[in-house]
Amino acid sequence: MSALPPAAAGSAAHTGGYVADPRIRWQEWLPWVLAVAAFFGAPDYLSLGARILIFILFALSLDLILGYAGIITLGHSAFFGVGAYVAGILGAKLGVTDPLVQLAAAAAAAGVLGVVTGAIILRTTGLTLLMLTLAITLVFLEIANKATSITGGADGLAGVVVAPVLGLFRFDLYGKTAYLYSLAVLFVGWWLVRRLIYSPFGASLTGIRENAVRMHAVGAPVYARMVAVYAISATLAGIAGALLTQTHQFVGLNVLGLEPSGELLIMLILGGVGRIYGAFVGPFVYLIAQDYLAKQFPEYWYFGIGLILVLVVLFARGGILGIVDAALARLRRPSA
Amino acid sequence: MQIKPAACLAALALAVCAGAASAQTIKIGVISTYSGPLAAQGDQLDKGFKLYLKLNGDKLPAGVKIEPIFRDDTGPNPDVAKRLAQELIVRDKVQFLVGTVWTPNAAAIAPLTKEAKVPFISANAAGVNIPYLSPYFARVSFTLWQSAYPLGQWAAKKYKRVYTAVSDFAPGHEAEEGFITGFKSGGGEIVGSVRIPLANPDFVPYMQRIKDAKPDALFAFNPAGKQATAMMKTYSDLGLAKDGIKYIGTGDITTDEELQGMGDVALGVITAHHYSAAAERPANKAFVAAYKKEYGENLFPGFMVVGAWDAMDAIFHAIREQKGKVDPDRTMALLRQYKNPNSPRGPIALDPDTRDIVQNEYLREVRRVGGALANVELETLATMIKDPFKELKGKK
């Protein structure tokens, strides 16, 4: 998983670092143009659209630690779930209904959790780390399951009240508000991640991923950097979780545990790890394929998803964006 | 110029077709579980829906057609279920929603039906609270209190001391609470209660403790199939039966679809439930025969199949009464008064106040009938019982 394809300068990859040009290229505006076009072009699909946007933010947070810092995890749903439950409990039990306040609280809770758990588990590597991340999300799953008076347990937390965004835009049946709201939050998240990756901090993360011993040798505070990026990633995941709660006004146990973590990992690998936009392409393709296949073949659609995954793993190690890179490189070579 | 008449004609034909379709086709959104590790449950619902549509699809006012749209919620995933419901409402413009195996999924959909004014009928999801979430929600399945509470009352007349052992998840907790409330109201004594993790394969320590406590009976609740079988097997291996400890529970531990696979350990288990495939009612005999003809001679319909069947029947009733021009508020008014004296499970009705199911609960014993295991109905435990939870405690 740490063997990432070395990206050629100027390709679709965003490896960050000092040498890279941090200016936003014209291609990078494409997803946003598409997203706005989808709002007007496919008004019946906005609830699916909002779900895709939320998972893009979630995948982006995973890309930050997996793709750039090389921290492997199966427990990223812990932060997503905590964010979802914090927003849900505020809205359903404590009467805090302002969406932005809920979002901030969820972000803070997930961030603090990221610092605390990161400080403990990032002392380990490899399989130990993987198991610890998994253990943490399972612990939270069990807490959510048992604390029925607060979380609703297996029945889920119903009746989450979310006030209109900024007091103006009510969450409607067609998902218009949900879509635009998620899009705005994702834009901020994207901007933040991008800034981070092109900063010296981002460069040090790539260094840690490629050779942690060497980073120690040059005097970089490896552990502190890892905890920091883990906490930032946790915060973003918590925000994504809160978005899911707010757009659905319901929280179920399925936001925690292995399944959402695994699914997220699949989406990211499908899109391409360690290149920002892999986190855009992966959830987009995965969720649309899932939606389409599940409608055509309600009983057998998992087979289709499995097939796509096998093909990607066999023939496109860099994910879908890896294929794009290879195609572009082939186009350029004869002319150069 | 030459094209114009043809184009006009085509446009006219289209308009007529579209007009005819929108006036007479009623879309029903069906949300169930078709994939993932829990798909077997969704399959039961699916079989019930499809069997009803196949046998009764034509029993509608002239010109009215039903178009079911099936969607997969992949298991207890409320966010997926809610999104599917949202799409069915805004994109497919369904007039009815029906389904869901899982309580969280139904609870996530319910508030949506309130806003969109789309009647939503639960064919299974049994959480006691769901009807409070939307006035457009009705339930034809059951609640766990409905079987556990009268069983507790009955047990109080026969046994003094009972031990309860349930799986540690929401339905288990509701069954436990319902049974204990009923049992204590009749003056019984609970000598011990244990909640067993769902993923626990070893029942020996629990059964040993129960054996040492020497109760008169053991009230058990866990998912039928592997879990319930393992627990019953440990119960007989450790000799609890020989000590005179009776094994009782709600019908969920000996469901008709799993019973054949459970084997002889299930013999003699006493349960309370609203449906048994072995019931002697003529309506049930016809129903079981139709099921076997459709899906296989060795298969028995479980309570979920009946839930799905009755859900469709309630929808058909509403459509017939309105002669195909359905209005959500009129539908709900009709559903509140819905009665069916001839469901496979006996007489059923909906409570006009809570839109929750009112039905008989039967006391059954697992016996061997003609080579197959069956839940033989012994007596009617409660006649037309409303959800006791709502009667006793109101809202959760």
pLDDT single digits (tens) A52-73: 999 999 999 999 999 899 898 9
Over the stretch B192-205, which tens digit does the pLDDT of each residue have? 999 988 776 689 99
The shortest CB-CB distance from B79 to any of A44, A159, A248 is to A248
Picking from B83, B94, B120, B124 by the largest number of A CB atoms within 10 A of its own CB, the best residue to mutate is B83
For residue B278, being part of any structural domain is answered with no
Are B162 and B156 a contacting pair, CB within 8 Å? no
Residue B3 confidence (pLDDT) above 80: no
**pLDDT at A302 > cutoff 80:** no
Select the residue of A45, A154, A254 nearest B169 (Cβ to Cβ): A154
CB contacts, 8 Å: B124 with chain A: none
Query: How many structural domains compose chain B?
Result: 2
Report yes or no on B164 lying in a domain. Answer: yes
pLDDT for A209-234, tens place per residue? 888 889 889 988 999 999 999 999 99
pLDDT of residue A15: 64
Contact B111 A47 (CB under 8 A): no
Least confident of B14-28, B101-115, B127-141: B14-28
B242-296 pLDDT, tens digit each: 889 999 999 999 988 888 888 888 899 999 999 999 999 999 999 999 999 999 9
pLDDT at B48 over 80: yes
- What pLDDT score was predicted for residue B50? 94
pLDDT above 60 (res B23): no
Specify whether B110 is located in the same domain as B25.
yes
Nearest CA in chain A to B396: A149
What is the share, in percent, of chain B residues with pLDDT greater than 70?
93
Residue B280 lies in a domain: no
Q: Report pLDDT for B9.
A: 47
Express each pLDDT in B320-365 by its tens digit. Answer: 999 888 999 999 999 999 999 999 999 999 999 999 999 999 999 9
Residues B122 and B139: beta-carbon distance below 8 Å: yes
Residue B18 vs residue A256, higher pLDDT: A256
Q: Determine, yes or no, domain membership for B316.
A: yes
* Residue A289 confidence (pLDDT): 87
Assess whether B114 and B164 both reside in one domain: no
The predicted-structure confidence for A72-96, as pLDDT tens digits, reads as follows 899 999 999 999 999 999 998 898 8
Please name the residue of chain B whose CA is at the shortest distance from the CA of residue A144. Answer: B169
pLDDT confidence of residue B47:
93
Q: Return the pLDDT at B136.
A: 95
CA-based nearest residue in chain A for residue B125: A155
Nearest CA to B379 out of B86, B163, B154, B133 is that of B154
Q: What is the tally of helices (H) and strands (E) in chain B? A: 13, 14
pLDDT at A244: 94
Q: What is the mean pLDDT of residues A136-152?
A: 89
pLDDT at site A301: 76
For chain A, domains (ranges, CATH) are 27-335 (1.10.3470)
Residues 6+ apart with CB under 8 A from B137: B106, B110, B113, B120, B121, B122, B130, B131, B355
pLDDT of residue A90: 94
Q: Side chain identity at B130, as an amino acid letter? A: I
Residues B159 and B257 placed together within one structural domain of the fold: yes
Structural domain contains residue B236: yes
Count of CB atoms situated within 10 Å of the CB of A285: 18
Based on the fold, state whether residues B345 and B252 are members of the same structural domain.
Answer: no
pLDDT reading at B13 higher than 50: no
- Rounded to 10 degrees, what is the CA torsion of A23, A28, A32, A38? 170
Q: Is B166 in the same domain as B262?
A: yes
> A-chain residues within 8 Å CB-CB of B74?
294
Average pLDDT over residues B56-69: 89
Give how far Cα B223 sits from Cα of A97, B35, B197, B198, B309, Å.
Answer: 38, 19, 12, 9, 22
Query: In this predicted structure, what is the pLDDT of residue A327?
Result: 85
CB contact under 8 A, B104 and A44: no
* ipTM of this complex prediction, to 2 decimal places: 0.71
Nearest-CA distance A8 → chain B (Å): 39
Q: Please give the pLDDT value at position B285.
A: 94
Which pLDDT belongs to residue B14?
47
Residues of B with CB under 8 A from a CB of A: 34-36, 39, 70-72, 74-79, 82-83, 86-87, 89-91, 103-105, 107-108, 110-112, 115-116, 127, 129, 133, 169-170, 173
Asked if B22 and B67 count as a contact pair (C-beta separation under 8 A), the reply is no
Is residue A334 over pLDDT 70? no
Q: Which two tokens stand for residue B356?
A: 């929750």
Of B75, B89, B107, the CB nearest to A250: B107
Name the residue facing A155 among B77, B86, B170 (closest C-beta). Answer: B170
Q: What is the pLDDT of residue A145?
A: 87
**What is the structure's pLDDT at B365?**
93
B246: CATH: 3.40.50.2300
Q: Which domain holds residue B33?
A: 3-142+285-355
pLDDT tens-digit readout, B72-127: 988 888 888 998 999 899 889 999 999 898 888 999 999 889 889 999 999 999 88
**Is-contact A76 A61, C-beta < 8 A?**
yes
- Name which of A48, A54, A155 to mutate to probe chain B: the one with the most chain B Cβ atoms within 10 A of its Cβ: A155
User: Same domain for B289 and B369?
Assistant: no
Contact B170 A298 (CB under 8 A): no
B62 belongs to a structural domain: yes
Query: What's the whole-number mean pLDDT along residues B34-40?
Result: 80
What's the rounded Cα separation, in Å, for the pair A264 and A137? Answer: 14
Are B182 and B312 within one domain? no
Q: Residue B238 falls within a domain, yes or no?
A: yes
pLDDT of residue B135: 93
Same domain, B12 and B125: yes
The first and second tokens of residue B46, run together, are: 């699916």
Interval B285-328: pLDDT, tens = 999 999 999 999 888 999 999 999 999 999 999 999 998 889 99
pLDDT tier at A121 (50, 70, 90 boundaries)? Answer: very high
Domain shared by B106 and B219, yes or no: no
**Do residue B133 and residue B77 come from a single domain?**
yes
Q: What is the pLDDT of residues A238-253, one digit of tens each?
A: 999 999 999 988 898 8
Q: What is the mean pLDDT of chain B?
A: 88
Model pLDDT, residue B344: 94
Mutate to test the interface with A, among B49, B87, B117 (most CBs of A within 10 A): B87
Instruction: Please tell me the distance from the alpha carbon of residue B35 to that of residue B84, in angstroms, as a whole number.
Output: 15
Q: What is the pLDDT of residue B37?
A: 74
Cβ within 8 Å, pair A173-B115: yes
**Which residue in this structure is represented by tokens 């469709």?**
B312
Asked whether residue B160 falls in the same domain as residue B177, the answer is yes
Contact A248 B83 (CB under 8 A): yes
Any domain includes B279: no
Percentage of chain B modeled with pLDDT above 90: 59
Which residues lie below 8 Å from residue A18, measured CB to CB, with a gap of 6+?
A: A200, A203
Check pLDDT > 90 for residue A258.
no
Q: Which amino acid is at B182?
A: G
B296 and B351 share a domain?
A: yes
How crowded is the C-beta side of A148, counted as CA atoms within 13 Å?
12
- Position A5 confidence tier, pLDDT thresholds 50, 70, 90: very low
Q: Do B90 and A302 touch (CB under 8 A)?
A: no
Contact residues on chain B for A299, CB-CB shorter than 8 A: 34-35, 39, 72
**What pTM was computed for the model?**
0.80
> Quick one: pLDDT band at residue A28, thresholds 50, 70, 90?
confident
Condensed to tens digits (0 to 9), the pLDDT of residues A176-200 reads 899 999 999 999 999 999 999 988 8
